[in-house]
Structure 1
Amino acid sequence: MADRPSKDPLGARLQELRSAYRERLNDELAAITRLAEEAVNQTDAAESITLLGQKLHKLAGSAGTFGFHRLGSHARQLEQRIQEWLDGSASAASLNLIAFTQDLKTLQFHLGADEAASRSISVEHTGQEPEPDSPLIAVVERDEILAKYIAHQLESFGFLVRCYHDPQAFLVNNDGSTDLLLLDHRSGAAESVSTSTEHWQMLLKDVQCPVIFMGGHEDFFVRLEAVRAGADGYFVKPLNIPKVAKKITQSIRKQRQHNERILIIDDDAELISHLQTVLTKEGMVVEILSDPTRLINTTAEFQPELLLVDLNMPEVTGDELASMIRQFDQWNNLPILYLTREQSQEVRAHALLSGGDDFINKPISDDYLIKTCRNRVRRQRDMQQAISHDGLTGLLRHANIKDALETELQGSRRSGNPLSVVMLDIDHFKQVNDTYGHALGDIVISTVGTLVSQHFRRSDRLGRYGGEEFVVALPNCDAKTAYTLVDRLRQAFAEISFVERSRRFVCTLSAGIADTQTFPDTTAEQLLDQADAALYRSKNAGRNCVSIASEPKESQ
């Protein structure tokens, strides 16, 4: 009879690591006591005491992480006594080795106390939901007509929408497939009653998707209520649907971002293995490194979004590694956190000046580790997003989309798969600005950005080339397939009405496509030129259409 496989292999791995660490402790405590006893009989015990301090430092840093908190705390106190003697802040006489050896034997007592008080340590794991073909938005709105209007407009942006009269109806029918909840913050409450923060916190505590509130007025306290309820945003009615759609797209994309990439550098094999398992269990991609000499190569190959570096290692210090990383321009903004029990303000200040960003104090709580790493990576991504993406559309900026196109072209040549490049332009956009003003013109541009984000794959590279022009790079996609995708986008945009006071108008798109099957030996710039020439064919054909560059020497 075969053993039944574990339903949580990572959880089982955590327990295995704790058990292995516990088995190591007996030998480690015996070695510490033996080293102290040897020092008692030595004329010059400085070397042995230094080694003893290193062993206690390692024990103090790792024991609490594995749940042996009393042991780790007492080891830290003993380490501090040794450090004071080594620093010269305490006299030799104050370190009575015979008495100190007796104190070391109490480590075994604290270990037993930890085991008697121990309880299982678990890390909550949230499984990722499969991505639907179209993002599913749940709209909770008491006004049935308004709900249908919002749904109709959001469907124009490529969303699948379900409407509910009140939050309870959504909760009863929610099967976990909802990608975002758009919620009237007064839903389910009487007109004269302000819904409390506690009410929303309790109501939404099991909702896993991003939440956006909407309401009839805006003030500090309404926004504060939304924040305390965990909402991503708050919009005032009447809703500016293009702005709401843009925010929805951003929230969903952030929710679906690829897993965080963490590189951990530490000489304690058990500790870094434990940290790796904890973070991996939460869906992060983790690389561990015990040999600091491989730092540069590993960082270049793995491309981490966060470095966790032990501040005190035998051959090299964490702040030296941070300084080394900062010598490379491409890693100048890479977040670096030190793993340490160091309490000296001078040492910590020097470590920060060397290039580190902050500290995670040992022993390390699993929950604190997870939240700190996740927050650091998300803040780093937000900063990179602000640098590389256009603020109005959320798409790559001019220089970044050109770099992305070059990267995709190189990948296409290596794999032999086709690459299509699309140039898009809003028809008669100058007339929109002249007639309705630049503010409404910005809404039109933003709408195209949102539609582009919704209608293409996550692997596609999307950019605002400048003004009302856009560029899309579609890897593993020939011109014929690209035509179908782009024409669907063109039709969706043409169905959207823009309203300025009592005036209503629509805009259209023209597009040109070029692919590497038709132009196999061109550079990225030349491929863009061919797509641009095809775009002008669409313009000359009456606009609101898509053209494919089909002749290698096609010119404007």
Structure 2
Amino acid sequence: MTDSSSDSQVNSKLNKLRSAYRSRLNEELERISEQAQEAHTHDDRGEALAKLRHRLHKLAGSAGTFGFHQLGNHARYLEQQVQRWINQSEPVKPQELEQLNKELSDLARHLGSDEAMSSAVGVESTEQSADSNSPAIALIERDSILADYIAHQLESFGFRVQSYQDPHELLNNDQGGMDLLLLDHRAGASEVAATPTDHWKALLREVACPVIFMGGHEDFQVRLEAVRAGAEGYFVKPLNIPNVAAKITRSIRKRRQGEERVLIIDDDVDLLAYLDTVLTHAGMTVETLQDPSHLLDRTSSFQPELVLLDLHMPEVSGDELAAMLRQFEKWNNLPILYLTQEQDQQERAHALMRGGDDFINKPVGEEFLIKTCRNRVRRLRDMQQAIALDGLTGLLRHANIKDALETELQGAARSGNPLSVVMLDIDHFKHVNDTYGHALGDVVISTVGTLLTQHFRRSDRLGRYGGEEFVAVLPNCDANAAERLVNRLREAFAEIKFVDRETSFSCSLSAGIADTRNFPGLMGEQLLELADAALYTSKQNGRNCVSVAPAQ
């Protein structure tokens, strides 16, 4: 771990952005005071209050991002007070406005307290050139300084970020290459105010990528607006950038998952052909089965993520097949939907008790069929990931990464291609927890998880082995290629600075590698031990380096 000098902090881009933001705060507080005075004297008090609420909302959203947390919290409190006045039917009393003016004067006091504490917490990095294959993020943020600040931090995680101040500016540009859209839900505030849901649904209708909203406050209504607009997430400013980066990574990874695998069992050949055509055209991988006696073999070989079963067939009923599948623990959570015209409630209840999850009524509508199948598979994948993935990093848990290693070893043995196992460890991590606290220690661990996902291939299996240790299983990759990949990760991680109050610090990674080319015929546990021994060599050699287990 290396502490950056005070000169490098002053000259860093993020500190320049903080200084630029601070230099305009006095003017912003004056504008807020003037707006409050206008609300006190203006004939159209409602319009003046709306403008005041907008300025307070903007201040509440941005101040905490730059470390002025008390200022941001007080601005949010005042914003909520003004919003209540706007919503109420009776006019605001003069004494209430006088009290507001007194509380507005406290904004400057909170600003002074924040400056004394210098309480920014986050990450920053030196300039990095993003790879052309890195995920492309479109950022819509009205505040240009805040937009630069957010963009720079996201670039620390390997994203390519293009900023826009207005949603129309984005839509007028070619956005076909976007992997994700991150936007302030009050961008274009004058247009949004009346009908926010309709506004965003209309604007985002042609946006095919995942959308994440951010805003200055959180309540039921703004989350409902985000849901109705089709957003996959909502983050409150000040943004926790590592959490945002992790959410972006998960959203993009979910979108890039393979085709849904659907097994359809029905004795009607024409219906099978129809269902096959509809789902295949929608991008799913489909297998059909007319003879139910092959159910177990086909399910084992195809590994479906969803089964569609005709409830009434000549030789065997669908609910009997569902009960048979449920006898196997590995298929206990496999979604099973019955295809049926049956409307008798007792029959339907009996079929559900035998192991089915729901019904698709015949005749089957195309759109309903596609969306139902897609949603069932998505929920299965979400459940599997919740079980298999570490909550902090989004990587495989200890047991799951070891299972993945054994699976990949079997594949490498069949193909004859090399496989590498990498053990990584955060250097001096105990010192981070002891000095800066476990909350910031979690930020460091989460950052490694996100960077691992960004720097390695989709085919690689990545896991958190425990604490600050990580494992990467790299199929079709020998030790030399693995060393190059790990070194790029190590260098990117070392460039990130974690900020706590007035100090910042960097961390480094040490790694060890063992591959099947140098050690053929070994079990997964043995390769892990060799990689761990190579990691120990890196620690002995001064840390912040990569060692390869020597060939025997």
- Do Structure 1 and Structure 2 share a fold, with TM-score over 0.5? yes
Please say which of residues 379-388 and 187-196 is displaced more in the overlay.
187-196
Correspondence 1:188-227 to 2 at 5 A: 188-190=188-190, 193=193, 196-227=196-227
1:353 is matched with 353
1:164 is matched with 164
Correspondence 1:519-538 to 2 at 5 A: 519-538=519-538
Q: Give the Cα–Cα distance (whole angstroms) in 1 for the partners of residues 355 and 261 of structure 2.
A: 20
Please say which of residues 190-199 and 445-454 is displaced more in the overlay.
190-199
Any unmatched runs of 5+ in structure 2? 1-130
2:422 is matched with 422
1:482 is matched with 482
Correspondence 1:177-192 to 2 at 5 A: 177-190=177-190
1:243 is matched with 243
TM-score (norm 2): 0.75
Q: Give the Cα–Cα distance (whole angstroms) in 2 for the partners of residues 191 and 459 of structure 1.
A: 44
How much has 1:502 moved relative to structure 2?
Answer: 2.7
Correspondence 1:108-507 to 2 at 5 A: 133-190=133-190, 193=193, 196-507=196-507
Q: Give the Cα–Cα distance (whole angstroms) in 1 for the partners of residues 397 and 192 of structure 2.
A: 47
Correspondence 1:63-102 to 2 at 5 A: none
Q: Give the Cα–Cα distance (whole angstroms) in 1 for the partners of residues 228 and 185 of structure 2.
A: 12
Q: Secondary structure at the match of 2:172?
A: helix
Q: Give the Cα–Cα distance (whole angstroms) in 1 for the partners of residues 224 and 549 of structure 2.
A: 53
Q: Give the Cα–Cα distance (whole angstroms) in 1 for the partners of residues 208 and 247 of structure 2.
A: 17
Contact kept? 1:180, 1:211, Cα under 8 Å: yes
Judged with a 3 Å threshold, the aligned counterparts in structure 2 of structure 1 residues 502 and 396 are, in CA distance, closer, same or farther, namely same
Judged with a 3 Å threshold, the aligned counterparts in structure 2 of structure 1 residues 458 and 479 are, in CA distance, closer, same or farther, namely same
Deviation readout 1:29-88 (Å, 9 max, x if unpaired): xxxxxxxxxxxxxxxxxxxxxxxxxxxxxxxxxxxxxxxxxxxxxxxxxxxxxxxxxxxx
Q: Give the Cα–Cα distance (whole angstroms) in 1 for the partners of residues 501 and 275 of structure 2.
A: 58
How much has 1:495 moved relative to structure 2?
Answer: 1.2
How much has 1:486 moved relative to structure 2?
Answer: 0.6
Q: Give the Cα–Cα distance (whole angstroms) in 1 for the partners of residues 332 and 193 of structure 2.
A: 52
Contact kept? 1:185, 1:195, Cα under 8 Å: no
Write the letter of the residue equivalent to 2:220: F
- Whose relative contact order is higher, 1 or 2, with alpha carbons under 8 Å and at least 6 apart? 2
Q: Secondary structure at the match of 1:484?
A: helix
How much has 1:457 moved relative to structure 2?
Answer: 0.8
Write the letter of the residue equivalent to 2:236: V
Q: Give the Cα–Cα distance (whole angstroms) in 2 for the partners of residues 327 and 307 of structure 1.
A: 15
Q: Give the Cα–Cα distance (whole angstroms) in 1 for the partners of residues 347 and 237 of structure 2.
A: 54
Contact kept? 1:138, 1:182, Cα under 8 Å: yes
Q: Give the Cα–Cα distance (whole angstroms) in 2 for the partners of residues 359 and 314 of structure 1.
A: 19
Q: Secondary structure at the match of 1:550?
A: coil
Any unmatched runs of 5+ in structure 1? 1-130
Q: Secondary structure at the match of 1:150?
A: helix
Q: Give the Cα–Cα distance (whole angstroms) in 1 for the partners of residues 219 and 348 of structure 2.
A: 42
Contact kept? 2:424, 2:510, Cα under 8 Å: yes
Contact kept? 1:455, 1:485, Cα under 8 Å: yes
Please say which of residues 540-549 and 373-382 is displaced more in the overlay.
540-549
Q: Give the Cα–Cα distance (whole angstroms) in 1 for the partners of residues 168 and 332 of structure 2.
A: 48
Write the letter of the residue equivalent to 2:401: I
Write the letter of the residue equivalent to 1:221: Q
Contact kept? 1:392, 1:442, Cα under 8 Å: yes
Contact kept? 1:186, 1:195, Cα under 8 Å: no
RMSD between superposed Cα atoms in Å: 1.5
Write the letter of the residue equivalent to 1:488: R
Q: Give the Cα–Cα distance (whole angstroms) in 2 for the partners of residues 321 and 551 of structure 1.
A: 52
Judged with a 3 Å threshold, the aligned counterparts in structure 2 of structure 1 residues 370 and 192 are, in CA distance, closer, same or farther, namely closer
Contact kept? 1:136, 1:180, Cα under 8 Å: yes
1:91 is matched with none
Q: Percent identity?
A: 72
Structure with larger Rg: 1
Write the letter of the residue equivalent to 1:183: L
Contact kept? 1:189, 1:195, Cα under 8 Å: no
Q: Give the Cα–Cα distance (whole angstroms) in 2 for the partners of residues 490 and 533 of structure 1.
A: 18
1:5 is matched with none
2:543 is matched with 543
Contact kept? 2:183, 2:213, Cα under 8 Å: yes
Write the letter of the residue equivalent to 2:419: L
Q: Give the Cα–Cα distance (whole angstroms) in 2 for the partners of residues 175 and 381 of structure 1.
A: 28
How much has 1:303 moved relative to structure 2?
Answer: 0.5
Deviation readout 1:233-270 (Å, 9 max, x if unpaired): 11112211110000000000111110000000001100
How much has 1:346 moved relative to structure 2?
Answer: 1.2
Judged with a 3 Å threshold, the aligned counterparts in structure 2 of structure 1 residues 194 and 394 are, in CA distance, closer, same or farther, namely farther
Contact kept? 2:213, 2:226, Cα under 8 Å: yes
Judged with a 3 Å threshold, the aligned counterparts in structure 2 of structure 1 residues 308 and 187 are, in CA distance, closer, same or farther, namely same
Q: Give the Cα–Cα distance (whole angstroms) in 2 for the partners of residues 371 and 268 of structure 1.
A: 22
List 4+ stretches of structure 1 deviating above 6 A: none
2:10 is matched with none
Deviation readout 1:394-445 (Å, 9 max, x if unpaired): 1111011001001111111111101010000011111111111111111111
Write the letter of the residue equivalent to 1:251: S
Judged with a 3 Å threshold, the aligned counterparts in structure 2 of structure 1 residues 449 and 316 are, in CA distance, closer, same or farther, namely same
Q: Give the Cα–Cα distance (whole angstroms) in 1 for the partners of residues 146 and 169 of structure 2.
A: 17
Deviation readout 1:505-543 (Å, 9 max, x if unpaired): 211111111111111122111111111011111111111
Please say which of residues 497-506 and 387-396 is displaced more in the overlay.
497-506
TM-score (norm 1): 0.74
Judged with a 3 Å threshold, the aligned counterparts in structure 2 of structure 1 residues 242 and 350 are, in CA distance, closer, same or farther, namely same
Write the letter of the residue equivalent to 1:144: S
Q: Secondary structure at the match of 1:430?
A: helix
Q: Secondary structure at the match of 1:173?
A: coil
Residue-pair matches, total = 422
Contact kept? 2:335, 2:380, Cα under 8 Å: yes
1:101 is matched with none
Write the letter of the residue equivalent to 1:528: L
How much has 1:195 moved relative to structure 2?
Answer: 6.5
Q: Give the Cα–Cα distance (whole angstroms) in 2 for the partners of residues 474 and 276 of structure 1.
A: 35
Q: Give the Cα–Cα distance (whole angstroms) in 1 for the partners of residues 186 and 238 of structure 2.
A: 15
Contact kept? 2:186, 2:192, Cα under 8 Å: no
Write the letter of the residue equivalent to 1:177: G
